[in-house]
Amino acid sequence: MTLRLFDTNSRSLRDFVPVQPGHVSIYLCGATVQGEPHIGHLRSGVAFDVLRRWLLAQGNDVAFIRNVTDIDDKILNKAADAGRPWWEWAATYERAFTRAYDVLGVMPPSYEPRATGFIPQMIQYMQEIIDNGHGYASEGNVYYAVRSNADYGTLSGQKLDDVHQGESAGEGKRDPADFTMWKAAKPGEPFWDTPWGPGRPGWHLECSAMARTYLGRVFDIHCGGLDLVFPHHENEIAQAHGAGDEFARYWLHNGWVTMGGEKMSKSLGNVLSVPNVLKRVRAQELRFYLGSAHYRSMLEYSDAALEMAAKSYQGLESFVLKVADRAGEVKVGSWTEAFADALEDDLAVPKALAEIHGQVREGNKALDAGRLNDAVEIAASVRGMLAILGVDPLDPHWAVDGDAADHAMSALDVLVSAELERRAAAKAEKNWAVADEIRNRLTRAGIEVTDTPAGPEWSLRKDH
């Protein structure tokens, strides 16, 4: 199959053909670093990390740009309310987002530009837009003249007379539909000098300028959350076209993480921060949960859904670890045709997971029948497919660090092995009551015992 992606702009599935064969250019709208990241913030990172991994696995060179918005009204207001410098506030939560991406195994971007480090390029970009008749300066602000752009509203389906930018009127704005590219300085706020006076960037300007700088005047894919279609992405397109750029060929948008049917957001007070969720499940289980639904669908959060996803992952993980323990090693293999067909169909991860679960069922049958070589081959393929989804159980990223953990597991192995020897002796004497009591005691302690033709095996229950 050819990779087919749902393009928001055309509202259709399209064959993906990169601008430059063998090279894929992707821009993802990153975080506005105003506070602690919640799991809704991380969904786009996980979803489009899978896209990137799939493209890389097929031999493409991938340029992946993800920006950081480190100055805007929310950052300034929250920093002021906390009595902290705005730059310290932004840097603190930029680090929090970086930690969250890293702990979930999201590959770092090729480059991660910050808005505050991109002012000269934004000034040049605005000048081009003004020179082309699509922008104007007034009272120190710089606006984009929306009605000068005949295709405005194509991405979002907005009709020009119904456009509401969600921003204050601003000094000197000629038309309420126009949007702000540059905000005139206010007392006490940070500012940068421009030909039109001191001020700071509007929200939309940075992405258009950054995408051109790092990916060119035309690039392959622009990604982001569904909530960014309007006004942010619509205005990015307007700025790019106003500056004479073709901009993105494909537009991909992920659905929200919802609670009670509403988008997870700080304003609703229904936030689940990444550090808090990681007290309940492991990082790979949270990533598996966030990436298990189709990227365009809404993901309704509940404790039960999170737990179910964790147990589903544990079943896949248990098979791989069991085979690795018996065989001594399981390498990363290749994917199956059904898995590839699923991902080529607009990254249909649920179909891909169904294929992985099917392979695991066959692998467990092979283990039960004593066909270790077959099980190893299947486990290698399962590792390869889970690696594309970013949750390979044997990836060193998920390993527990530290000598203390190794010593603890070694000591536990000695103790559990002694108990299993006592159980084996009791069974040999047909003292079933003692054998059952030993197994039940281990179960209560979080030790799962599996009887195999080669003897009993034990593992820690992941929910304990």
Write the DSSP string, 150-201.
Answer: TTTTTTT---GGG---SS---TT-SSTT-EEEEEEP-TTS--B--TT-SEEE
- Would you state the pLDDT for residue 409? 56
Q: List, for residues 245-265, the tens digit of each pLDDT value.
A: 999 999 999 999 998 888 887
pLDDT for 410 beyond 80: no
- Segment 381-410 mean pLDDT: 81
Euclidean distance between CA atoms 70 and 224, whole angstroms: 17
Identify the structural domains of the chain with CATH numbers, from first to last.
4-254 (3.40.50.620), 304-398 (1.20.120.640), 406-460 (no CATH)
pLDDT band at 377 (very low <50, low <70, confident <90, very high): very high
Closest CA to 252 of 1, 2, 5: 5
For 221, other C-beta atoms within 10 Å of its C-beta total: 25
pLDDT digits (tens, 9 = 90+) for 44-83: 999 999 999 999 999 999 999 999 999 999 999 999 999 9
* pLDDT 10s digits, 84-106: 999 999 999 999 999 999 999 99
DSSP 72-95: SHHHHHHHHHHT--HHHHHHHHHH
The whole-chain average pLDDT of the chain stands at: 93
- In contact, 277 and 322? CB cutoff 8 Å: no
Model pLDDT for residues 11-25, shown as the tens digit of each residue = 999 999 999 999 999
| Each residue's pLDDT tens digit, 223-242 | 999 999 999 999 999 999 99
Question: Using the 8-state DSSP alphabet, how is residue 134 labeled?
Answer: S
pTM, to two decimals: 0.86
At residue 252, what are phi and psi to the nearest 5 degrees?
Answer: -115, 135
DSSP 390: T
Task: State the number of CA atoms in the 13 A half-sphere of 283 facing the CB.
Answer: 19
End-to-end Cα, the chain, rounded Å: 42
Whether omega before 231 lies within 30 degrees of 0, making that bond cis, reads: yes
DSSP secondary structure letter of residue 231: I
- Residue 174: CB atoms within 10 A of its CB come to 12
Q: What is the pLDDT of residues 144-194, one digit of tens each?
A: 999 999 999 999 999 988 899 988 767 899 999 999 999 999 999 999 999
In DSSP terms, 64 is beta-bridged to: 26
Q: Smallest Cα–Cα separation from 245: which of 212, 210, 203? A: 212
Which of 294-311 are b and which e, b meaning 16 or more Cβ less than 10 Å from the residue's Cβ? bbbeebebeeeebeebbe
pLDDT at residue 403, as a whole number = 46
Per-residue pLDDT tens over the stretch 412-447: 766 787 788 889 888 888 899 888 888 888 888 888
What pLDDT score was predicted for residue 414? 65
